[in-house]
Structure 1
């Protein structure tokens, strides 16, 4: 068995990942089993660099707010703003340190340097594909709604608009009504099912319908980027209003709906990116896997279909998923994996890092079903052995060290 397992691994290179796939996917998803580890982000950076230089990839999308991601994209494509400002305002999830990450900063710096002097068609693009959501709640729909209304106001007859900007502003009210963190635990604190919110959902739907109805006209009057952003505003506005509606719900299905709606917003953003060209996606394994995701909540376990499962159902071989698994994360209390787990089997190999052909590994194991690893650290999710055949590959990192950050290659 050991010889067979050795035959399923290669060095960690973009070319090795590409060889695992039956064709060139429109979306190549690289998962991570835990957030906030610079080693894994550095590995992502290097793989993206190789995909750009060897495979023609031009876009990277990460698990960050899709609206904030526009700030980063403007910087890497046009040099808008400063690197410091972009790192402060272009990333969400401050609890995960996305904007403070040295690896994320180096990625943005390298992308800007790569784009310098290149024509627009050859420039690298950056995207966040998460909704404007945090674990404690959700943003106000104001930014997305008003941006969509503003775009349409400049392009279509005023009589076609379902409302004025002043009506939107009045219905939205103060933003802190929407962002009250108490609403996550107490539905009664949410404004998501108020009369104003219900009216806003209808207006958002009409604005998106107007955008769709004007599709033959808009490309002649605005750039593709402007039109793509308007569609992003529409997806975000309707998604946020739907999310807020379910934050105010009191049924047992509330948390299942909230988890599912977040991944649905992710999936819609990823499907839009698939039209841009080959894209590398980076997020937690649980958002990118083809199986249902699960989470233990205060009221019990919750299950929902991940963004990866939703996108895979639409794109087929146009979507590829490579999970990341790791051996040790000692500074988080995760020590040498048990030998009967997937991580334990891979830990016996001499390589510090490797790319694993997951379906071949499953075939090599035959009827031997590896045990599920149990993590002592809540922030790390071990690889589920039942997912082997549904993953295109695994990037295995034997030990995640405390380290000094190296520069991304040029």
Structure 2
């Protein structure tokens, strides 16, 4: 470890809180059209803030045309319409479709500040040059079906009537879990064929006629097509949760990657270059082949699929790590968000190695010498929307070869939690280090 520590101290670049902190990253981006910015948790202020600062520079200096995030398509679409000046929403109202747990993941002050910046950035630009904020995820089975029907009501009422018939088999009281269970067990009809048929009908509308109505009409057609794709893949996902041999992790990450591919193609049809920044968890954006999830469980993720589809010369995978601090997270699913104390990283982890360097916050490009230093497997921490420090090792650590997983790392040694727009009483009871014992 002494050799690794010495190498990190030599190769890492300290972060000074200046715009120049990101110069080395932008140099590393070069002409790449995909930059994937990760996070070691879903509730850390420092990750959100720095991703936003990097993304602003990528948009202004490198001509990036869209931000794609680990959020549901219809929820983020309301923000896209807001930042492109296509809705009557206020800034706060534009966040109104983020209704399900965990609301704080996107309904927080850090994202709000970025959206305000993006709206201002877009204001002086023509429609085709305005940057959108798009969701990649697939949980919105019913919201996406409703959005498809609402779109068809406007452009083709006859097809809207057919869509209602196609999607009728989804009706399980708006509960996707109940739908998936009953469809998987043969207790009700699967909507797979109907969902695929409806997307085919939508695609027949095409862009040519819509282009005569302007770029906005083409955008709306694309938004509807993508909602139809969400219905197909969400239906398969919820069925696979019960009785299927398909890995739901793989289904989800394949959908998110396919959404990214469709978004790039849409941007290019609009005359752009298809340059997209992606925000998601490290576990989605670091190449799964370098981790336990890929090597032992046969799982793949966005980072791996992007490298395979577009090559390492056109994509840059950037991870974010921390040693300790606080995170916005719940103890149980559907629980209240709290300011949870993050335990100091474990011995044998990449986070502890970075902490022991004594550099504090730094940027480390994982090229040549640095790649050799971090080629061996180390523990790596992953905190989602749930944090359970009482089972820290089992719940939040896996092994990974960091130099193969990412192209670069930002290490932020002590971090703080994001600030939710909606706060429950537990938020005011900030956990302190003495809350939990260090023993596992």
Task: Specify if TM > 0.5.
Answer: yes
Q: 1:63 and 2:63 equivalent?
A: no
**Any conservation in 2 of the 1:287–1:306 contact (CA below 8 Å)?**
yes
Instruction: List aligned pairs for 1:185-264, cutoff 5 A.
Output: 187-188=181-182, 194-195=188-189, 197-211=191-205, 214-215=206-207, 217-218=208-209, 220-248=211-239, 250-254=242-246, 256=247, 258-264=248-254
Q: Which of 373, 384, 394 is the equivalent residue of 1:365?
A: 373
In structure 1, stretches of 5+ residues that fail to align are 155-162, 296-300, 406-410
The Cα offsets for residues 21-52 of structure 1, whole Å up to 9 and x where unpaired, read as: 4x422110001111122222111122122223
Aligned length: 379
Normalising by the residue count of structure 2, what TM-score does the alignment of the two structures yield?
Answer: 0.74
Residue among 102, 108, 120 paired with 1:101: 108
- The Cα offsets for residues 205-231 of structure 1, whole Å up to 9 and x where unpaired, read as 4314524xx45x346424344334423
- The 3-state SS of whatever aligns with 2:120 is helix
Q: Which of the numbers 9, 22, 25 marks the counterpart of 1:6?
A: 9
Deviation at 1:102, TM superposition (A): 0.6
Q: Note if 1:289 corresponds to 2:286.
A: yes
**Length-normalised TM-score, structure 1:** 0.79
What SS does the corresponding residue of 1:7 show, helix, strand or coil?
Answer: helix
Structure 2, unaligned stretches of length 5 or more? 16-20, 268-273, 327-338, 383-387, 421-440
Name the structure 1 match of 2:162: 167
Q: Distance in 2 between matches of 1:143 and 1:290?
A: 34
Deviations 1:198-253 (A, max 9, x none): 45234224314524xx45x3464243443344234223323423432453354351
Structure 1 residues 320 and 150, CA gap change in structure 2 (3 angstroms): farther
What pairs with 1:362-401 in structure 2 (closer than 5 Å)?
A: 362-365=370-373, 369=376, 371-373=378-380, 377=389, 381=396, 384-401=399-416
* C-alpha distance in structure 2 between counterparts of 1:327 and 1:343, whole Å: 5
Check conservation: 2:110, 2:418, Cα contact below 8 A: no
Partner of 1:329: 325
Q: 1:50 to 1:93 in 2, by over 3 A?
A: farther
Per-residue deviation, residues 284-341 of structure 1 (Å, max 9, x unmatched): 112222225877xxxxx96532122222221112222101111113564533334532
Equivalent-residue separation in structure 2 for 1:371 and 1:220 (angstroms):
52
What's the offset of the Cα at 1:65? 1.4
Alignment counterpart, residue 85 of structure 1, candidates 90, 93, 96? 93
How does 1:342-357 map onto structure 2 within 5 Å? 342-357=350-365
Q: 1:268 to 1:4 in 2, by over 3 A?
A: same
Give the conservation status (yes or no) of the 8 Å contact 1:357–1:393.
yes
Deviation at 1:179, TM superposition (A): 3.0
* 8 Å CA contact 2:11, 2:370 repeated in 1: no
Note closer, same or farther for the CA distance 1:44–1:289 as it changes in structure 2 (3 Å cut).
same
Question: 1:145: Cα distance to partner?
Answer: 3.2
Q: Is the 8 A contact 2:323 2:352 kept in 1?
A: yes
